[in-house]
Amino acid sequence: MSLLFSPLTLRGITMRNRLWVSPMCQYSAVDGIPQEWHHTHLAQFASGGAGLVVAEATAVSPEGRISPDDTGLWNDRQRDAWAPIVAAIRSRGAVAGIQLAHAGRKASTWSPFSGHRGSVAVADGGWQTAAPSAIAFEGFETPAALDTAGIDAVVSDFAAAARRAMEAGFEVLEVHAAHGYLLHQFLSPLSNRRDDEYGGSLEGRARLPLRVIAAVRDAAPAAALIVRFSATDWADGGWDADDTATVAGWARDLGADFFDISSGGLVAHQQITTGPGYQVPLAAHVRRVAGVPVNAVGMIDDAAHAERILAGGDADAVMAGREWLRDPHYGLRAAGELGADIDYWPKQYVRARL
């Protein structure tokens, strides 16, 4: 019996297996609206056997976009463009999720294949960024520190985007509190130097992320709610795995169902040694200390490795990103490799069955 190919139910929503597609920005939206590319891109993973397909970091407000080419959910046109994409994922038997995001001080940057680097100037279609404190990410423009009204707006933007996501048919919502984006900027003492109730102690720094999680829970009571954390900044004086476990416990108490444990992205001087499964110990730590269900992610590129992670009790599911880009039918291949007898090999493809 393969653990990877056993189902997992969160808040009544059953993923047919535990091999999931990690959110991946495509930098291919127009005015925040997903395009035909997104449709094909996401649907193919569902045909390819994924249990859950999480759509890319999708901005809850225009100024929350990483780049001008990001998807959004701050208006109804965007919602209506997501709906057929969700239907395509669901009709292929996978659960559709979406990552809700605000990039904070890492917003308004050129997308990777624009031919430019760093911040987009206002004259070129960029915008003034906002963050907990007016401290720039190395190489980017300096953000404005959010005032209390700005913080309240972030909370209501996440809630409104969550409502639209549910209207579009998504069943899983992932709050992006990782990779150095706005909510992670609040969590880390390296980027949050506020002296009001949103800074200082761990409770203070976690206040906005927890308000967002509570607001999303309230706006989308039926959603399975995942929170992605970076469990370490990989930098001296930063946020770490113990902090992550503590805040994950608080988030669980506010209605988060599951935690997606990644790392890094907060500062350019981070020191990371990557390798196969390099973030698994972080996921295992959060799972053990906080007693919450988690997925591992990051350079877990083969089925046997993913199966071992689950068998070892280090995680409850595995997300992969680039392996799905290399082979959109990774799930079907992985099931074959593990000898799992799945009943969702597409009938149109059955002659190729492993």
Ligand X SMILES: Cc1cc2nc3c(=O)[nH]c(=O)nc-3n(C[C@H](O)[C@H](O)[C@H](O)COP(=O)(O)O)c2cc1C
Site for ligand X in 73-112 (CB under 6 A): 99
**Residues facing residue 204 across a β-bridge:** none
Task: Decide if residue 280 touches ligand X (CB under 6 A).
Answer: no
| φ, ψ dihedrals at 335, nearest 5° | -60, -45
Task: Decide if residue 217 touches ligand X (CB under 6 A).
Answer: no
Largest CA distance in the chain: 63
Contact string 236-275 vs ligand X (x = CB under 6 A): --------------------------x-------------
Task: Decide if residue 310 touches ligand X (CB under 6 A).
Answer: no
Pairing of strands 172-177, 13-15: unpaired
- Report, in Å, the least distance between residue 79 CB and ligand X: 18
181 assigned to active site: yes
Task: Decide if residue 116 touches ligand X (CB under 6 A).
Answer: no
CA distances from 352 to 31, 42, 332, 346 (A): 40, 21, 10, 10
Task: Decide if residue 321 touches ligand X (CB under 6 A).
Answer: yes
If we measure between CA atoms, which residue out of 289, 311, 315 comes closest to residue 298? 315
Query: Distance between CA atoms of 32 and 12, rounded to whole angstroms?
Result: 30
- Report, in Å, the least distance between residue 148 CB and ligand X: 27
> Which region, judged by CB under 6 A, interacts with ligand X, from 84-92, 186-194, 286-294, 296-304?
296-304
**Catalytic: which of 181, 278, 330, 349?**
181
- Report, in Å, the least distance between residue 279 CB and ligand X: 8
Torsion sign (Cα): 246, 55, 296, 9? positive
If we measure between CA atoms, which residue out of 95, 81, 191 comes closest to residue 145? 191
| Residue whose C-beta lies closest to ligand X | 321
Query: Which residue's CB is nearer to ligand X, number 204 or number 301?
Result: 301
- Report, in Å, the least distance between residue 326 CB and ligand X: 10
Contact 1, 17 (CB under 8 A): no
3-class DSSP assignment, residue 56: strand
Tally the residues of the chain.
Answer: 354
- Report, in Å, the least distance between residue 324 CB and ligand X: 8
The DSSP code for 72 is: B
Binding site for ligand X (CB under 6 A): 22-25, 56-57, 99, 176, 178-179, 228, 262, 297-299, 320-323
List active site positions.
181
